[in-house]
Structure 1
Amino acid sequence: MTLARETASLRQQVVTAIRDAILFGGLAPGQKLSERELCANLGVSRTLLREGLQQLQAEGLIVNVMHKGPSVASLTREQARDIYKVRGSLEALAAKEFTQNATNDQRKLLAQRLKDIKKAGTQNDSHDLVKAKNAFYDVLISGCGNAVVGQMLTTLNNRVTILRRQSLATPGRLSKSLEELQAILKAIEAGDGDLAGQLCAQHVDNAADIVLSQFSKPRK
């Protein structure tokens, strides 16, 4: 993790660097965080680091246990299940309202974002793939015209990204996911908001089935 001090406030760079390391696998769930090592790697003071860790704790990515210090948060199966339930309902509503409210430019951009996902998938880059999938949903949210839905999904975004990375890493899931997203886009282009919503909810349910089944697997 390295910081470019001129591009943003140093504190925000600290938050972004650690957040990305958590979201994209550089820091594992449950991993204990050494403040000394993080300060050395990032080149910042302990005070600044702790301010950043407090923000990440508020985002649900870090837990701070008394007498043990900070560590990367782990999702339980129950938490993952609940996140998928909420995500499915919200994204179904976003897809339905995107169909009704999105501009032509937003519809074109959504189609382009799907192409970006396909491209990232062919390059076998998990980081770019997850970022492309997130970008697809960013367009869906921004074009749905419902600020409350957008705010709630944004709040879930970090934990959804962790689960999304886990889902897409499952063999065979990417090709199926692309088929499902193409069907959602087709329904949107046809102006069928109800169908787009139903397909979006099913897409989330399918991802949930894969990820939740992995929680049941015994640890080696």
Structure 2
Amino acid sequence: MTTDAVRRTAAPLRQEVVNALRHDIVAQEFRPGERLVESMLCERYSVSRTVVREALRQLESEGLVRMIANRGPEVATLSIREAQSLYEVRRALESLAGSLFAERATGVQCTELVARFSAIKSAMASGDPVKRLEAKDRYYDALFEGAGNPEIARMLRSVHARTQMLRNLSLATPGRAVRTVAEIARITAASAVIRDPEDARIACEEHVTAAAHAALTAMRRLENGN
């Protein structure tokens, strides 16, 4: 087998492990602060240490894993202050993305955003936390594409990766899934139907503000042992 063939084989395998480990962290198979032992991960995913280490490095770059001196990799934890800061950034960027989508998106992109919203409704009704986050990620992919600003997309994907567990915590709040659907319905209408940049901006701001409130409230409750 040639070197190029080996690389082509190894890269998809690494990505499979990245996806599987990311899924397990979001689903809280691994808890925040839990050590990620390489030998255990090799056995769990039936891959070599090299593949596991590459996957861990990628998830470290996404903010889901932290490398701790004299301890090794562990599932990242966020302080309440760090979470607040990330939500502030997310609110500013998503509001801009929604506004730009309303201004710039093509008819095809608007149709796609509406379709992605329909998928969110189905995912929220399923109650599956991973399906919910995956549906929201696909929705945001469509929103970012229509906004036509790759830098916003790059920065927001980084923020979303770092707040994956918080997003899951927010959606687990009683009644939050129903409110999320209503909030995203407003974003979709303002951005892709009415095409009102200001209303889209406000709708995005209010959605992130509500998500932040739910997640931060849940974090404080867990911190207090309630």
TM-score (norm 2): 0.89
SS of 1:216 mapped into structure 2: helix
Unaligned runs of 5+ in 2: 1-7
Task: Report the aligned-residue RMSD.
Answer: 1.8
The whole-number CA distance in structure 2 between the counterparts of 1:215 and 1:162 is: 11
Q: Does the 8 A contact of 2:173 with 2:218 survive in 1?
A: no
| Residues 133-148 of structure 1: pairs in structure 2 closer than 5 A | 133-148=136-151
Q: Which moved more, 1:24-33 or 1:191-200?
A: 24-33
1:96 matched residue in structure 2: 99
Unaligned runs of 5+ in 1: none
1:164-211 Cα deviation digits (max 9, x unpaired): 211111110111111111112222211210111011011100111111
1:192 matched residue in structure 2: 196
Q: Does 1:163 align with 2:166?
A: yes
1:208 matched residue in structure 2: 212
Structure 2 residue identity aligned to 1:140? L
1:28 matched residue in structure 2: 31
Q: Does 1:51 align with 2:54?
A: yes
Q: Which runs of structure 1 show a deviation greater than 3 angstroms over 4 or more consecutive aligned residues?
A: 5-8
1:65-96 Cα deviation digits (max 9, x unpaired): 22222111111111111111000000000000
Match of 2:13 among 10, 19, 33: 10
The whole-number CA distance in structure 1 between the counterparts of 2:44 and 2:87 is: 35
1:107 matched residue in structure 2: 110
Q: Which moved more, 1:141-150 or 1:11-20?
A: 11-20
Q: Does 1:154 align with 2:157?
A: yes
The whole-number CA distance in structure 1 between the counterparts of 2:96 and 2:52 is: 38
Give percent identity, aligned residues only. 38
Q: Does the 8 A contact of 1:64 with 1:71 survive in 2?
A: yes
SS of 2:70 mapped into structure 1: coil
Q: Does 1:78 align with 2:81?
A: yes
Deviation of 1:8 after TM superposition, in Å, equals: 5.5
Deviation of 1:141 after TM superposition, in Å, equals: 0.6
TM-score (norm 1): 0.91
The whole-number CA distance in structure 2 between the counterparts of 1:174 and 1:210 is: 11
How many corresponding residue pairs?
Answer: 216
